[in-house]
């Protein structure tokens, strides 16, 4: 028998394997495939951006905890690293390193820590950082490099027809083409399905490959980090709405496949909209939230002045989350007794 | 697809270390201390005096209210004291302390191992026997069985459900009795069916006990109306409400009773006790206790007389090592931590589990990341994160609106929380507050 007094505490006496650090670690693992493909396509600039973005996020959180909030260090939960990686994946590959630093300071310093740190923020920190950069440095943030690295040399069938080093994203091409009198179906038709699925021509670092993003999503589902509700309702909403618009007027509106597999819909839908802190907690709330994101994103694409609207749509729906949490209740076990 | 309950639940590792150990009789200790509060309800009143000689099975205390139960001597010997002693949690409870002398049973108790399958008693006679034998629910709550078998006026029982799920990790006592005494359990079910006047009985057993499922299936062949239902392994399947949902797909209403669904749930251990009481005249004086834990030298299942000190049980498996730091009566999910190892076992004690600090340590609490995993795990469809927050803000009204009283305290929320927030600790306190307010309103 132990000489010390036995521990006495209420049940349960066991704890499951879940931890915040494990959740964040799983998100990082799920982001590996797309990061790797981006590195192979865009080269060292991706690594430099990642390094500066992640280091700034971690340092920022550490310094704010230490000197402003006087709270224990929280960087061990890995959430700052996740924010850093997601921010960088939302930058154009040609962005200079200091862009990532500025974005990281805004993401952690303003969007996360001013609300009180992990779990308290209303908006997705990485997206706040990204949108801040987009409106502050519009030129730098819309200079798209085309994939050119190692992969391109070995898989020529995926390379874009044009030999240019920079170009617009598929969504940008469509938007500009439509303004100058083009036909949507032809503009979208210049991209093959292989390109849209495997290596996309132009876009943010993390938008490089639909397949790599889906792989990450499947990993998160298998590890039960996320549930299918949010990604599937977003994709389904976009696909259904796009089908309706496209069948009404294919000359003005792009189709469902093009809309799901271009831009930030997969990256945003799988990795940003599912952020625990800024998404609803019940299934019914998550469905409303996912539908909202899908509708707003597609409206911005079709009718807005920006070619892409996933970041904005997620941030807008972030505002609604507290209300969704208040009114969307889970199904209770039993009915009221008479 | 095997059946299970529809909402929530968690999957802790089952760790049934003692499942291969056949039931052994625990040697008698020198002294037993029998608690007068071994059941839900009013404590029993002692009817023996210090110095009295008692035999095994002799009544030593009578019920003192409607919800109460008789207590019998589990040993033969001399009553040494009738005094308050601390129970496992450290509360002072009246105990009858008996010095053990030999092992002399009352003559009317049938101690032969023969199976007695003929039942001639009427429902009233059965209920009287069960009441006289001091039988309480052995699943944990220790509710007097004769009351549960007499539905209140206006409610009728349609089906009996035997609970052989044993969904708590580590415990193997129900598994062993189903493997070693399947006929007796089935007969016990038949007796209770007659008492209730129902024609059907389902026996729910989780699929991690294939031997028990097989044994009970063979035993049920000779009795009509009994069906073994294998269930998926999921905690808290043994919760009364979850088991009814899993087996007959009906849900006990909020603030309602199981009988509102037409079901009466009894533990398989209770069924065995009912058989022994009705067919063998043996009152509830012993039960099966699993002594287990990875750090112990051995893990065993014992037939234990009521009133044996927990420390004596530990010695029977070779003593606890120095690193043992938490002793639990019951399972790791809902069991009670033992403060005082000199406290004694009761009728409904199912297990003594020993954990090391590493196995049971609670990690530091982090901020809520609003993942909603607690709500997904809640088998009652509640939102533990919200109840926890409301409790910390002391908002009793809102806790009531959020149905905190529906909480069954299974611990799934705390088990699953990635941020290690002590959700259930706060919910328990809030639930007690809300229930107090609701009761005072009714008066």
Condensed to tens digits (0 to 9), the pLDDT of residues A293-305 reads: 999 999 999 999 8
Query: Residue A59: is its pLDDT beyond 90?
Result: yes
- Using DSSP, state whether B11 is helix, strand or coil: coil
B253–A338 CB contact, under 8 Å = yes
- Give the helix/strand (H/E) hosting B303: strand B300-305
Instruction: Supply the pLDDT for residue A154.
Output: 56
Average pLDDT for B242-252: 95
Range of the structural domain that residue A286 is part of? 168-327
Q: Which residue of B has its CA nearest to A73?
A: B366
Residue in the structure block whose two tokens are 């396509």:
A41
Q: Pairing between strand B159-164 and B263-267?
A: parallel
Mean pLDDT of B169-192: 96
The answer to whether residues B72 and B89 touch, using CB atoms and an 8 Å cutoff, is: no
Region B346-354: mean pLDDT is 96
pLDDT of residue A156: 54
pLDDT band at A128 (very low <50, low <70, confident <90, very high): very high
DSSP per residue, B237-300 = TTSHHHHHHHHH---PPBT--GGGGTEEEEEHHHHHHHHHHHHH---S-EEEEEEE-TTSS--E
For residue A118, which residues of chain B lie inside 8 Å, CB to CB?
366-367, 369
What's the confidence (pLDDT) of residue A265?
95
Q: What is the dihedral of CA B116, B118, B121, B123, to 10 degrees?
A: 100
pLDDT band at A2 (very low <50, low <70, confident <90, very high): very low
Nearest residue in chain A measured CA to CA from B12: A16
Do A132 and A213 reside in the same domain of the chain?
no
pLDDT of residue A4: 64
First to last CA, chain A: 53
Indicate the fold that domain B1-25+109-361 takes in CATH. Rossmann fold (3.40.50)
Per-residue confidence (pLDDT) for residue A161, from 0 to 100 = 45
Q: How far B156 CA sits from the closest chain A CA (Å)?
A: 16
Query: Residues A107, A228: one domain?
Result: no
Tell me what the mean pLDDT of segment B139-162 comes to: 92
Q: Determine the distance in angstroms separating the CA of B378 from the nearest CA of chain A, rounded to an integer.
A: 9
Of the candidates B391, B323, B318, B315, the residue with the CA atom closest to the CA atom of residue B355? B323
Q: How far apart, in whole angstroms, are the C-alpha atoms of residue A294 and residue A64?
A: 35
Asked if A20 lies within 8 A of B380 by C-beta distance, the reply is no
Of B276, B265, B35, give the one whose Cα is nearest residue B133: B276
Query: Quick check: is A204 in a domain?
Result: yes
Phi, psi of A17 (to 5 degrees): -75, -10
Residue of B355, B366, B395, B417 best to disrupt the A interface, most CBs of A under 10 A: B366
- Could you give the 3-state DSSP secondary structure of residue B344? strand
Which of A125, A142, A159 delimits the end of a domain?
A: A142
Dihedral of CA atoms B301, B303, B309, B314 in degrees, nearest 10, equals: -20
Between CA A181 and CA B357 the distance in angstroms is 72
A138 and A175 co-located in one domain = no
In-domain check, residue A121? yes
Residue A3 lies in a domain: no
Has residue A75 been placed in a domain? yes
pLDDT value at A191 more than 90: no
What value does the mean pLDDT take over residues B168-181?
A: 96
Where do the domains of chain B lie?
1-25+109-361, 373-442
Instruction: Pick the residue of A23, A125, A334, A335 with the most B CBs within 10 A to test the interface with B by mutation.
Output: A334
* pLDDT at A151 exceeding the cut of 60: no
Q: Tens of pLDDT along A263-281?
A: 899 999 999 999 999 999 9
Query: Does A190 share its domain with A85?
Result: no
Test B256 with A337 for CB contact under 8 angstroms: yes
Helical spans, DSSP H, in chain A: 20-42, 44-63, 79-89, 97-104, 125-136, 150-154, 170-179, 184-189, 193-197, 210-222, 229-248, 256-260, 265-267, 283-303, 310-327
CA-to-CA distance for A30 and B263, rounded, in angstroms?
A: 47
Q: Enter the tokens of residue B137.
A: 């629910």
Q: Are residues A173 and A227 in the same domain?
A: yes
B57-98 pLDDT, tens per residue?
Answer: 999 999 998 889 999 999 999 999 999 999 998 899 999 999
| A-B contacts at Cβ under 8 angstroms | 168
Whether residue A288 lies inside any domain: the answer is yes
CB contact under 8 A, A12 and B406: no
- From chain A, the residues in CB contact with B353 under 8 A are 13
The reply to whether A149 falls in a domain is: no
pLDDT for residue A1: 45
Backbone phi and psi for residue B354, each to the nearest 5 degrees, phi listed first = -115, 125
Separation of alpha carbons B419 and B371, rounded Å: 10
Closest approach of chain B CAs to the CA of A120, in angstroms?
8
- pLDDT average, residue stretch B359-364: 88
State how many domains chain A has: 2
Q: Is A9 on the interface with B (CB under 8 A)?
A: yes
Q: Is A16 on the interface with B (CB under 8 A)?
A: yes
A114 and A184 within one domain:
no
Whether A24 maps to a domain, the answer reads yes
What ipTM does the predicted assembly reach?
0.88
pLDDT band at residue A162 under the 50/70/90 scheme: very low
Contact: A20, B419; criterion CB under 8 Å: yes
Mean pLDDT across the stretch B286-314? 96
According to the model, what pLDDT value does residue A152 have?
56
Residue with the bigger pLDDT between B394 and A338: it is B394
Residue A311 and residue A191 in one domain: yes
- Asked whether residue A112 carries a pLDDT value surpassing 80, the answer given is yes
From chain B, the residues in CB contact with A18 under 8 A are 373, 416-418
Contacts of B328 in chain A (CB under 8 A): 11, 13
Phi-psi region of A107 (alpha: psi -120 to 50; beta: other; left: phi over 0): alpha
Peptide bond into A168 cis (omega under 30): no
Q: Which of A16, A276, A335 is facing B370, going by the closest CB pair? A: A276
Helix (H, G, I), strand (E, B) or coil at B206: strand
Residues 6+ apart with CB under 8 A from A125: A83, A87, A107, A108, A111, A112
* Chain B residue numbers touching A8 (CB-CB < 8 A): 89, 326, 337-339
Beta-carbon separation of B369 and A20 below 8 A: yes
- Tell me the per-residue pLDDT of A294-336, one tens digit each, with 9 for 90 and over: 999 999 999 998 888 999 999 999 999 999 999 999 999 987 6
The answer to whether residue A156 is domain-embedded is no
Residues A179 and A251 in one domain: yes
Q: In this complex, which of B253, B254, B418 lies closest to A19 when CB atoms are compared?
A: B418
Least confident of B117-121, B205-209, B421-425: B117-121
Residue among A3, A5, A9, A15 with most chain B CBs within 10 A, to mutate: A15
Backbone angles phi, psi at B437, to 5 degrees: -65, -45
- Report the percent of chain A where pLDDT is more than 90: 70
Q: Is there a single domain that holds both residue A33 and residue A180?
A: no
**Closest Cβ opposite residue B333 in set A14, A119, A331:** A14
Q: A14 CA to chain B: closest CA distance, Å?
A: 5
Mean pLDDT computed over B180-184: 96
- Are residue A176 and residue A319 in the same domain, yes or no? yes
Could you tell me the pTM of the whole model? Answer: 0.91
- Looking at the structure, do residues A119 and A244 belong to the same domain, yes or no? no
Judge whether residue B276 has pLDDT over 90. yes
The two tokens of residue A239 are: 């696909």
CA distance, residue A286 to nearest chain B CA (Å): 11
Q: Which of A57-71, A180-194, A310-324, B375-389 has the lowest mean pLDDT?
A: A180-194
pLDDT tier at B203, thresholds 50, 70, 90: very high
Mean pLDDT of chain B: 94
Q: Do B379 and A7 touch (CB under 8 A)?
A: no
Residues A226 and A268 occupy one common structural domain: yes
Quote the CA–CA distance of B119 and B43 in Å, as a whole number.
32
- pLDDT-based confidence at residue A283 (cuts at 50, 70, 90): very high
* Residue B39 and residue B68 in contact, taking contact as beta carbons nearer than 8 Å: yes
Number of Cβ within a 10 Å radius of residue A218: 12
Q: How close B390 gets to chain A, by Cα (Å)?
A: 13
Burial B337-358 (b: 16+ CB within 10 A, else e): bbbbbebbbbbbbbbbbbbbee
């Amino acid at each position: 028998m132990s000489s010390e007094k036995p521990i006495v505490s209420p049940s349960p006496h066991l704890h499951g394997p879940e931890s915040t650090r494990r959740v964040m670690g799983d998100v990082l693992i799920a982001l590996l495939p797309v990061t790797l493909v981006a590195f192979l396509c865009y080269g060292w600039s991706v690594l430099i951006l990642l390094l500066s973005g992640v280091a700034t996020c971690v340092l920022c959180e550490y310094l704010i905890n230490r000197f402003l909030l006087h709270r224990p260090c929280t960087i061990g939960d890995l959430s700052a690293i996740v924010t850093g990686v997601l921010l960088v994946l939302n930058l154009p590959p040609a962005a200079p390193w200091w862009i990532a630093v500025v974005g990281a300071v805004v993401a952690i310093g303003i969007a996360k820590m001013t609300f009180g740190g992990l779990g308290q923020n209303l908006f997705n920190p990485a997206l706040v950082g990204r949108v801040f950069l987009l409106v502050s440095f519009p030129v730098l943030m819309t200079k798209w490099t085309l994939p050119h690295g190692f992969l391109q040399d070995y898989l020529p069938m995926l390379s874009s027809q044009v030999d240019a080093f920079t170009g617009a994203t598929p969504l940008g091409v469509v938007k500009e083409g439509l303004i100058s009198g083009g036909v949507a179906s032809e503009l979208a038709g210049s991209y093959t399905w292989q390109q849209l699925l495997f290596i996309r021509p132009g876009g943010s670092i993390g938008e490089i490959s639909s397949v790599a993003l889906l792989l990450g999503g499947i990993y998160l589902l298998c590890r039960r980090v996320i549930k299918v509700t949010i990604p599937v309702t977003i994709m389904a909403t976009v696909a259904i709405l796009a089908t309706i618009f496209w069948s009404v007027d294919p000359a003005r509106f792009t189709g469902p496949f093009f809309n799901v597999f271009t831009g930030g819909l997969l990256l945003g839908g799988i990795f940003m909209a599912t952020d625990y802190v800024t998404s609803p907690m019940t299934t019914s709330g998550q469905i409303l939230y996912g539908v909202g994101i899908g509708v707003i994103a597609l409206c911005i694409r079709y009718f807005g002045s920006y070619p892409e609207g996933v970041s904005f749509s997620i941030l807008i729906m972030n505002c609604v989350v507290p209300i969704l949490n208040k009114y969307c209740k889970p199904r209770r076990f039993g009915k009221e007794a008479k | 697809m095997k059946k299970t309950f529809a909402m929530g639940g968690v999957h802790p590792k089952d760790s049934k270390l003692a499942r291969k150990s056949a039931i052994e009789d625990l040697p008698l200790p020198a002294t037993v201390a029998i608690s007068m509060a071994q059941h839900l309800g009013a404590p029993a009143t002692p009817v023996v005096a210090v110095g009295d000689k008692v035999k095994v099975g002799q009544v030593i205390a009578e019920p003192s209210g409607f919800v109460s139960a008789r207590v019998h001597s589990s040993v033969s010997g001399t009553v040494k004291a009738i005094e308050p002693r601390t129970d496992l949690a450290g509360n002072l409870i009246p105990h009858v302390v008996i010095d053990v002398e030999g092992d002399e049973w009352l003559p009317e108790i049938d101690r032969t191992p023969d199976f007695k399958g003929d039942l001639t008693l009427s429902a009233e006679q059965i209920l009287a026997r069960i009441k006289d034998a001091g039988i309480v629910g052995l699943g944990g709550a220790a509710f007097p069985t004769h009351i549960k078998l007499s539905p209140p006026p206006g409610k009728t029982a349609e089906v009996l459900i035997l609970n052989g799920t044993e969904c708590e990790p580590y415990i193997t006592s129900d598994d062993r009795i189903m493997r070693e005494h399947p006929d007796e359990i089935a007969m016990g079910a038949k007796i209770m069916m007659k008492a209730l006047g129902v024609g059907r009985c389902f026996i729910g057993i989780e699929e991690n006990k294939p031997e028990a499922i097989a044994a009970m299936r063979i035993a049920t062949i000779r009795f009509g109306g009994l069906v073994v239902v294998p269930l998926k392994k999921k905690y808290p399947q043994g919760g009364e409400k979850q088991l009814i949902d899993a087996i007959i797909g009906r849900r006990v209403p909020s603030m309602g009773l199981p009988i509102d669904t037409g079901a009466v749930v009894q533990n398989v251990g209770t069924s065995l006790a009912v058989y022994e009481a009705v067919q063998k005249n043996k009152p509830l004086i012993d039960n099966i206790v699993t002594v287990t834990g990875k750090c112990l030298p051995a893990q065993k299942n014992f037939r234990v007389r009521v009133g044996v000190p927990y420390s004596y049980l530990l010695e029977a498996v070779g003593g606890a090592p120095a690193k043992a730091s938490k002793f639990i009566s019951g399972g790791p999910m809902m069991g009670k931590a033992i403060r005082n190892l000199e406290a004694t076992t009761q009728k409904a004690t199912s297990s003594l589990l020993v954990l090391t600090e590493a196995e049971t340590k609670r990690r530091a609490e982090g901020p809520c990341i609003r993942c909603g995993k607690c709500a997904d795990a809640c088998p009652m469809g509640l939102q533990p994160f919200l109840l926890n927050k409301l409790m910390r803000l002391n908002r009793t009204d809102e806790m009531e609106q959020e149905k905190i009283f529906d909480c069954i305290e299974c611990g799934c929320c705390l088990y699953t929380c990635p941020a290690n927030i002590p959700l259930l600790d706060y919910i328990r306190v809030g639930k007690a507050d809300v229930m107090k307010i609701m009761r005072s309103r009714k008066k």
